[in-house]
Structure 1
Amino acid sequence: MEQGSIIHIDYDLFNANTEKLIETTREEVAKEHDVFDENRTYVPMITIVGSGRLIKGFETHLEDAEADTDYNFDIEAIDAYGERDQSLIETISQNVLLKSVRDPNTLHIGGPVEIGGRTGILQFLSAGRARIDYNHPLAGATLRYDYKITKVVEDRNEQVETLLKMNTGREDFEVEFEGDDLTVTLPEEISYDQNWPYAKFSLVQTIRESLGVGVVVFREVHKPRAIEEE
């Protein structure tokens, strides 16, 4: 698959050591493994080949992948989330832990905790001490991916729309090219999103790196609200 290609991927991710399903984009697989979430929409993942958004082992495998082909392969820990690092397991006083969480009643062994801006897993809590594991939950695990590239986005307008959706979760942008210059008409509601002013700068960089566009204009349209007659 060519570097910079914008693709849709259906995949199932397993812990190869335990055969446990970790993540899937396919509803039927989630149901088969009794992890179906009715509040979630199961759709293919969108990514850019070679962008570094995925773990190293998956990025490398995509380089030789083709669309509409089923793949099954393992990724060793070193090319996934790394080996477990004992230095990332720390013991702190229970008082420090309790002062760092908003609601101590939510604490439980195996649950996430945030201490000093770092998120870890609470492993042990007793006798005034707490042990926190700051390793990634999948550190040390060999991963198995079953995947298929279901679509390669070729149309330029659709490429922009796909990048916008990938970064904002929205599909209600209007896209127009004039030569290499791009105008994106924004949905009115996005002006109320506090993250948008920061997200758009990252979007411009992603669009330019992926598509080689020139000037990028974000256009706001505020239509008058209709007044209902009594």
Structure 2
Amino acid sequence: MALQEGDFIRLRYTGRFDETIFDTTDEEKAKEEGIYNPRAEYGPVTVRLGSHHIIIGLEDELIGKEVGAEGEVDVPPEKGFGSHDDANVRSVPVSQFREKPKRGMRIEVEGREGVVVDVIGRRAVVDFNHPLAGKTLTYSYTIVEKVEDPIEQIKGLIKLYSGRTDIGISITDGVAELALPPAIVYDRRWMIWRGTLVREIFEYYPDIKNVVMKETFPRPEETKAAFEVPETEETPKTEETEE
């Protein structure tokens, strides 16, 4: 059956620009191309078609395809990362940088990330456009399977947004409960995206009336403190042993 908007799928893909790979779900390919991220979870990703979990040009290509389909598609800028906007290129005083700016340096100014494209006197020219803005991209893909189980779908959304695979999920009587690992509040990516996750759960699953996030702290295992005096070849003398 042809895939349509609202379907969850598991997808393998690799994105290229001018034969240079910039994104892939293949761990070995990422290592070969020098873009491997040791903190990333590689392998097929779970996405919902029609929700723009992937760039529009690739998503449009997948809708109407069958499970198991493989292919390649060219994605123009308007369906990729947008056109290059000259208004997003600004001149910034070098005094705003912690270190001397150089061409090609990635920096953050007022919460926005950009790339230094030139340094003129005491000012740096910074491009805040996405690095792939204005470029036509090529994606190769394989539709691995359709995901029907709501729990597996939500697990896929959690991994998509936070990269985490250690959150347990149960759905009972209209309540979706997420079992959170200890100290997850220190995970910045999770804290940023959890609101989006909750919103999408309510949007995609009308029968779910409440989302409960439960953080559990197990009692740590007791360890035996080593207070014993280590044995030595010579025992210290005491008043009772002294002659």
TM-score (norm 2): 0.77
Change (3 A) 1:116 1:149: same
Q: Equivalent residue for 2:74? A: 74
Which residue matches 1:13?
15
The residue that corresponds to 1:108 in the other structure is 102
Residue deviations 1:78-125 (CA, integer Å, cap 9, x gap):
221222223333334xxx1x2222232xx3211222233332221111
RMSD: 2.6
- 1:192 shift after superposition: 4.7
Contact kept? 1:163, 1:207, Cα under 8 Å: no
Within 5 Å, which residues of 2 pair with 1:133-148?
133-148=127-142
Richer in helix (by share): 1
Q: Which has the higher mean CA deviation after the structures are superposed, 142-151 or 191-200?
A: 191-200
Cα gap change, 1:112/1:200 in structure 2, threshold over 3 Å: closer, same or farther?
Answer: closer
Query: Structure 1-normalised TM-score?
Result: 0.81
Q: Distance in 1 between matches of 2:82 and 2:30?
A: 26
* Counterparts in 2 of 1:205 and 1:140: CA distance versus 1, 3 Å: same
Identity %: 30
Show the counterpart of 1:220. 215
The structure 2 residue matched to 1:208, chosen from 189, 196, 202, is 202
**What pairs with 1:178-189 in structure 2 (closer than 5 Å)?**
178-189=172-183
Structure 2, unaligned stretches of length 5 or more? 226-243
Q: What SS is found at the alignment partner of 1:188?
A: coil
Query: How far did residue 143 of structure 1 move?
Result: 0.8
Q: Say which SS state the counterpart of residue 84 (structure 1) adopts.
A: coil
1:35 corresponding residue in structure 2 = 34
The total of aligned residue pairs comes to 221
Matches within 5 A, 1:29-68: 29-30=29-30, 34-35=33-34, 37=36, 39=38, 41-68=41-68
**What CA deviation, in whole Å up to 9, does each residue of 1:165-209 have, x standing for no partner?**
333322222322223322222223325546656644332212122
2:4 is matched with which residue?
A: 2
Which structure has the larger Rg? 2
Given that residues 100 and 114 in structure 1 are in contact (C-alpha distance below 8 angstroms), is that contact kept between their aligned partners in structure 2?
A: no
The answer for the alignment partner of 1:176 in structure 2 is 170
Name the CA shift for 1:188/1:128 in 2 (closer, same or farther; >3 Å): closer
Unmatched runs of 5 consecutive residues or more in structure 1: none
Give the AA of the match of 1:83: S
